[in-house]
Copies of this chain bind each other. A is one copy, B any other.
Amino acid sequence: MLSFTVKRSAKCFFQQKNCLSSFNVIYENYGDPRKVLVGREREIQPLKDGQVLLKFLASSVNPADINQIQGVYPIKPSMPAVGGNEGVATVIETKSQNLKVGDWVIPALAGSGTWRSHAVFNEKDAIKIDNSLPLESAATLSVNPCTAYRMLMDFERIDEGDVVLQNGANSAVGQAVIQIATDLRIKTVNVIRDRPRVENLKRFLFDMGADYVLTEEECKTQLSDILRKESAPKLALNCVGGMSATNFLKYIRPKGTMVTYGCMSKIPFKASAASLIFADITFKGFWMSRWNDENNQSAERYRTLDYLSSLIKKNKLKCPPVSKVPLEKFPEAIENAMTEFTTHKQLLV
């Protein structure tokens, strides 16, 4: 168990009863999240026009949050910063024409800080979502499922029956890709790393709609045959890098695209000249934070959230397993999130 400090606002404690304070998980310097994060009470100021008072219901701990606190992520909030980029909050007081008490919202942009009990947001910094979603799904809606959906939509025109190839298929994004593709009648060829009881993981992914699941090793002997039987993919999704991505290049259809959204292996892939020149494959990257920034409050963003919410409500898009940890016990959640073989996403509630 890690030690941490809660500095309560003495001023707030002894003031009038309307004074509300918020519990914030903050950092004042980049470093090991297990060391630099502290809990701090902060006084909530009265609302101005166009503002809402939010109570956070659940906030996720994502790998990018950890990297951001370590200082190795391109989002550099001003210090002291509140941790967390994803979460769902409910409006408990409003001076906005657009948001009413009881609405559920997610932060419009990354870097807003979600690891806190309460916050005052300008209405433009909050996106209203369906408040009848399961809490876990709402709290984890804005990053992984949105990433999966945009990657399926924005790079290639994928028609029913087309094949999408992906590695890291058991990641949260990978699971969302499988489920969304299933709804859109797109076939998925899913690559995972070999592991003990790999058949259990394969069954789990098949159950969610995966058409094919192969280990990296099985790709060597089976991927060609599968893609001959189906069709060569126009789109490959890469969150692993290294040999896994390098090997994909020979299977992608000429003029197709490989979209990189992560690099779990921490090794860049080898971009062969032949794949670029002769096969005319395009290599692109995708970063959900940038898409949100460029599509903040756009109709397309609302359409994306509506579509994903409808899938969740039809039970066609399940949330990966989560562990709920009370916000005040954040060190436990951080420790769990930084454990190498973590299987559950940590949700601060």
Contacts and interface: CB of A to CB of B under 8 A. Distances in A.
Q: Which 5 A-B residue pairs are closest in the complex by CB-CB distance?
A: A276-B285, A263-B273, A283-B283, A268-B270, A277-B285
7 contacts: A263-B272, A268-B270, A269-B271, A270-B270, A273-B285, A277-B287, A278-B285
Nearest to A271: B271
A250 to B, nearest CB: 12
B271 A275 contact: no
A236 to B, nearest CB: 13
A247 to B, nearest CB: 13
Given A278-B287, A282-B282, 17 more contacts: A241-B273, A245-B271, A260-B277, A261-B277, A263-B277, A268-B270, A269-B270, A269-B271, A270-B271, A273-B285, A276-B283, A276-B284, A277-B285, A277-B287, A280-B290, A281-B285, A282-B283
A282 B286 CA distance: 11
Contacts of A263: 272-274, 277
A31 interface: no
Interface in A281-310: 281-287, 290
Contact of A282 (B246, B272, B284): B284
A245 B283 CA distance: 14
Contacts of A290: 280
A74 interface: yes
A217 B36 CA distance: 40
A260 B268 contact: no
Contacts of A287: 277-278, 280
Contact of A271 (B260, B261, B280): B260
Given A268-B270, A270-B268, A280 B285 contact: yes
